[in-house]
Structure 1
Amino acid sequence: MIVNIPYGKTSVSLDLPDDRVVAVLQSIDFNVRLDEKRIIQDALDNPIGHSRLADLSLGGRRVCVVVSDYTRATPNGILLPPIIESLKEAGVKPGEIKILVAYGLHKPAPRELLKEFLGGEVMEELEVIDHDAESERDLTYVGMTSFGTRLSINRHIIGSDLIILTGLIEPHFFAGYSGGRKSILPGVAGREAIFNNHSYKMIMHPLARYGILKGNPIHEDMVEAVKMIKREMYVVNVAIDKSHKVVGAFAGDVFEAHLEGVRFLDRYIKVKSPMRADIVVTSNGGYPLDRDLYQAVKGMATGELVVREGGVIVIFAECIDGIGRGHEEFYWLMAEAKSPEEVLERIRREEPIKDQWEAQILARILRTAKVILVTKNIKHSVVEEMHMIPASSPEEAVEEAYRIAGNKPNIIAIPEGPYVIPYVEG
């Protein structure tokens, strides 16, 4: 059986024996025939729980449009123009619109990359601001959530009359789903707030997992954070398919529209697995999410959902940015420890530590299964120091997986990686 696995902007073909593959878990075909631009415009014309942007009286009001960073496949080129046009129809002048890039604690992008994921026209017409979670002068304290998160937010949020949150709704490995409230926390929040929301205790909670919102403390903390910001908010989120084409758009109230998007996705991406497998082969969904190892932990966490204890997860990730721009601490947290258990103990004892959540989740996965990383952009020695097994080719990865799991292993393939939520009943 030939399985095509996304890898960067292309894919690799993996030849797996038919008699060993028990399932290829993929999202259900969205079967959407509408043009992407039409889908987005329809959402703007028919908002959920809110008036149309174009119908609001916004003349002279300051607007902040929050966008995701370069690690997300948000189609800003077709998403932002109709939003900006709606604002202009409502009386907003370009000089009254700011674009705020929600980096959280990620490193800001160089201008060339910024232009790539925002679009040249947006860069030329509007002021674009990089959020800096470490800059005290750019943050305003707004209060504390019931989860003990001391919430400081980018001052451009507080200084705006209308805040528009944009981005993708997709599975998230501890927030349940991305989109909506996540643009605020961690997107444009301060360092202290992000660390508390992503703390060891919060991430270890059994409901802080893919596809779970109810009872998930990380999600609920984010919701509280949004409610503490006493400004008018609006959301325009999209859902994409495996080829990164827009298949759904959801605009309007920041909570109602986001939840409608989650319900939409649930119907297509939650896929039942017949069993837990000896070997799970997956990816990080290709570019841009697989541009570094830091993000690739998400694909590993997808494999964790259906691998047996003591099994093997094979993850394909191009990692053109290596471990990750500005994520050196992720490497050191893993490499300085003698075992995954030691990683977890250090984080529990010494937090906050930069990049601790990615290291924590990787260490948690490694307690259950071996991880084989297929990439040509990270030295084998570095991968080994981080307690994983390196492979430069699909053949090498499969051979090593068989060596660990035995000669007749059961195999599950999840080509889309973190864009699918597999589950085993019981």
Structure 2
Amino acid sequence: MPESIPSLSPFQVREWFNALPKDDFVGQRVLLIVPDATRTAPLPLLFDALFREVRPHCQSLDVLVALGTHPPMSDSQIARLLGIDDDERRRLFYQLQAFNHEWDRPERLLTLGTLTKQETEELSGGLLSLEVPVQINSRIKDYDLLLVLGPVFPHEVVGFSGGNKYFFPGIGGPEILNFFHWLGALITNAGIIGVKDTPVRRVVDAAASMIPQTRRAITLVVSSDNSLHGLYYGTPESAWSNAADLSSRVHIKRYDRPFKQVLSCAPPMYDELWVAGKCMYKMEPVVADGGELIIYAPHLHEISVTHGKLIEQVGYHVRDYFTKQWDRFKDYPWGVLAHSTHVRGGGTYENGVEKPRVQVTLASGIPEETCRRINLGYRDPKTIDVESFANREDEGVLLVRKSGEYLYRLNQ
């Protein structure tokens, strides 16, 4: 089980922000980069503490939501994310500009440079060798200091989230996103999640080093109940490294034996399968060969607002289904293919026969016909009694009530 790490009180959090080196912000135009609503974080407390301590010293402070390719948020949704009510937005935060990242608008992207074939081959350990343009949200040109504020969790593509990942893919362009997501897929979720030093992290850091503005980060480690266990400030690399070390103690649960069946309950913040796939990513290592992982999400009715049509064309498949038919799939966005393999998990594809290691079943608002078409199992969520899965670990059955952020691993 994870260690019992003390949590910080609101007073301690404000004292921590009070101790930030104010000289870093004097006279600076600051762009604060934050996660969207699909990440657990006490953002209202953190933003309020940051605003009170930093805003008096800087020339300006604006917010950019690191959406990656997630759907955009309205201004009122961003305000609520930061803990600002409508009256405060008009009276106290009228100077604050809040932006969504726009990954799919070429005119909103700035090209920083290119990762060469030699660089990508070296960074990927020989798995991929191609030129990759590095693009980022062009709004960074209007600021002196880019300040990341966000949590660190075990992550299926990069090992641990956070740090420079808020730049790529958070506010990055599609080419670099597709490149390193597919690199992570080639390594596989099981091989990369919860690992600190990964080829994908090296790619992300190399891309971030091209940013001309000063980069700083406030990283945090938070439990699923929003208890805050650690705060770190520094370069994105150093602040992330410290948070990843703590995340490995807070967010990883270990078991001696795998489970034949797991009911993985998606929280409401996962409102499409694109993000609810985390309920598989984090659980895959403890599902037995031939076992079943059920993503229980009665509230979920979308595969993906952004990528749904492409996913319905491709379906969910193991990695080798794509690599052994590469000419057929190479022109699809590689980020979509990566998502497909991560949800489907490990397995083989030999002589035209696909054999996933785990059965993945959706118990959601997505119809049975759609589930079958995208190569996932289906169960009517109304037929599932969640409590019937509780306290049955000795039988090989595991209930996870809020899945997607804690990584489950076997001790060996």
Q: Is TM more than 0.5 here?
A: yes
Measured at CA, do residues 70 and 242 of structure 1 come closer, stay the same or move farther in structure 2, by a change above 3 Å? closer
Q: Residue 118 in 1 paired to residue 85 in 2? A: no
Q: Residue 379 in 1 paired to residue 367 in 2? A: yes
Structure-1 residue corresponding to 2:351: none
1:67 aligned partner, one-letter code:
V
Measured at CA, do residues 264 and 57 of structure 1 come closer, stay the same or move farther in structure 2, by a change above 3 Å? closer
Q: Residue 78 in 1 paired to residue 45 in 2? A: yes
Match 2:307 to one of 323, 327, 335: 327
Q: Residue 144 in 1 paired to residue 124 in 2? A: no
Q: Residue 108 in 1 paired to residue 72 in 2? A: yes
Structure-1 residue corresponding to 2:205: 223
| Residues 307-322 of structure 1: pairs in structure 2 closer than 5 A | 307-320=287-300, 322=302
Q: d(CA) in 2 for partners of 1:247 and 1:339?
A: 36
Structure-1 residue corresponding to 2:5: 30
Q: Is the 8 A contact 1:339 1:387 kept in 2?
A: no
Q: Is the 8 A contact 1:319 1:378 kept in 2?
A: no
Q: Is the 8 A contact 2:75 2:98 kept in 1?
A: no
Q: 1:235 offset after TM fit, Å?
A: 0.8
Q: d(CA) in 2 for partners of 1:370 and 1:283?
A: 16
Q: TM-score, normalised by structure 1?
A: 0.79
Q: 1:210 offset after TM fit, Å?
A: 1.5
Overall identity of the aligned pairs, in %: 19
Q: d(CA) in 2 for partners of 1:127 and 1:57?
A: 18
Structure-2 residue corresponding to 1:364: 345
Q: Residue 244 in 1 paired to residue 244 in 2? A: no
Measured at CA, do residues 330 and 340 of structure 1 come closer, stay the same or move farther in structure 2, by a change above 3 Å? farther
| Residues 196-215 of structure 1: pairs in structure 2 closer than 5 A | 196-199=179-182, 201-206=183-188, 209-214=192-197
2:285 aligned partner, one-letter code:
L
Q: 1:397 offset after TM fit, Å?
A: 7.5
Measured at CA, do residues 318 and 249 of structure 1 come closer, stay the same or move farther in structure 2, by a change above 3 Å? farther
Q: d(CA) in 1 for partners of 2:407 and 2:55?
A: 39
Deviations 1:178-198 (A, max 9, x none): 111110000111111211121
2:336 aligned partner, one-letter code:
D
Structure-2 residue corresponding to 1:89: 56
Structure-2 residue corresponding to 1:69: 36
Measured at CA, do residues 39 and 251 of structure 1 come closer, stay the same or move farther in structure 2, by a change above 3 Å? farther
Q: Is the 8 A contact 1:181 1:223 kept in 2?
A: yes
Q: 1:27 offset after TM fit, Å?
A: 4.1
Q: d(CA) in 2 for partners of 1:338 and 1:299?
A: 16
Measured at CA, do residues 111 and 355 of structure 1 come closer, stay the same or move farther in structure 2, by a change above 3 Å? farther
Q: d(CA) in 2 for partners of 1:333 and 1:361?
A: 17
The two structures, once aligned, show a CA RMSD in angstroms of 3.0
Secondary structure of 1:323 counterpart? coil
Measured at CA, do residues 417 and 338 of structure 1 come closer, stay the same or move farther in structure 2, by a change above 3 Å? closer
Secondary structure of 2:171 counterpart? coil
Aligned residues: 378
Q: Residue 177 in 1 paired to residue 160 in 2? A: yes
Deviations 1:2-49 (A, max 9, x none): xxxxxxxxxxxxxxxxxxxxxxxx6444342x42x3343344345xxx
Q: d(CA) in 1 for partners of 2:202 and 2:385?
A: 39
Structure-2 residue corresponding to 1:131: 101
1:384 aligned partner, one-letter code:
R
Match 2:63 to one of 99, 115, 120: 99
Q: d(CA) in 1 for partners of 2:385 and 2:322?
A: 25
Structure-1 residue corresponding to 2:126: none
Deviations 1:335-377 (A, max 9, x none): 4x899865664675334356332112123357111112222x2
Q: d(CA) in 2 for partners of 1:397 and 1:301?
A: 23
Secondary structure of 2:302 counterpart? coil
Q: d(CA) in 1 for partners of 2:217 and 2:278?
A: 25
Q: Residue 190 in 1 paired to residue 173 in 2? A: yes
Deviations 1:162-204 (A, max 9, x none): 11001111121121111111100001111112111212x4421
1:363 aligned partner, one-letter code:
R
Secondary structure of 1:152 counterpart? strand
Measured at CA, do residues 383 and 43 of structure 1 come closer, stay the same or move farther in structure 2, by a change above 3 Å? farther
Q: d(CA) in 2 for partners of 1:318 and 1:110?
A: 25
Q: TM-score, normalised by structure 2?
A: 0.82
Secondary structure of 2:404 counterpart? helix
Structure-2 residue corresponding to 1:292: 272
Q: d(CA) in 2 for partners of 1:281 and 1:352?
A: 30
Q: 1:250 offset after TM fit, Å?
A: 1.8
Structure-1 residue corresponding to 2:350: none
Q: d(CA) in 1 for partners of 2:263 and 2:317?
A: 26
Match 1:164 to one of 147, 170, 175: 147
2:216 aligned partner, one-letter code:
Y
Moved more, 80-89 or 187-196: 80-89
Q: d(CA) in 2 for partners of 1:79 and 1:267?
A: 22
Measured at CA, do residues 202 and 393 of structure 1 come closer, stay the same or move farther in structure 2, by a change above 3 Å? closer
Secondary structure of 1:151 counterpart? strand
Moved more, 102-111 or 255-264: 102-111
Deviations 1:209-241 (A, max 9, x none): 211121x11111111112221221111122221
Match 1:421 to one of 403, 407, 410: 407
Unaligned stretches of 5+ residues in structure 2: 121-130, 348-355
Secondary structure of 1:419 counterpart? coil
Unaligned stretches of 5+ residues in structure 1: 1-25, 47-51, 402-407
Q: Is the 8 A contact 2:112 2:211 kept in 1?
A: yes
2:69 aligned partner, one-letter code:
L
Q: Is the 8 A contact 1:131 1:188 kept in 2?
A: yes
Q: 1:242 offset after TM fit, Å?
A: 2.5
Q: d(CA) in 2 for partners of 1:89 and 1:208?
A: 45
| Residues 342-361 of structure 1: pairs in structure 2 closer than 5 A | 342=321, 345=325, 348-352=329-333, 355-361=336-342
Structure-1 residue corresponding to 2:26: 58
Q: Is the 8 A contact 1:186 1:194 kept in 2?
A: yes
Q: d(CA) in 2 for partners of 1:182 and 1:189?
A: 9
Secondary structure of 1:211 counterpart? coil
Q: 1:316 offset after TM fit, Å?
A: 2.0
Measured at CA, do residues 124 and 75 of structure 1 come closer, stay the same or move farther in structure 2, by a change above 3 Å? farther
Measured at CA, do residues 224 and 280 of structure 1 come closer, stay the same or move farther in structure 2, by a change above 3 Å? same
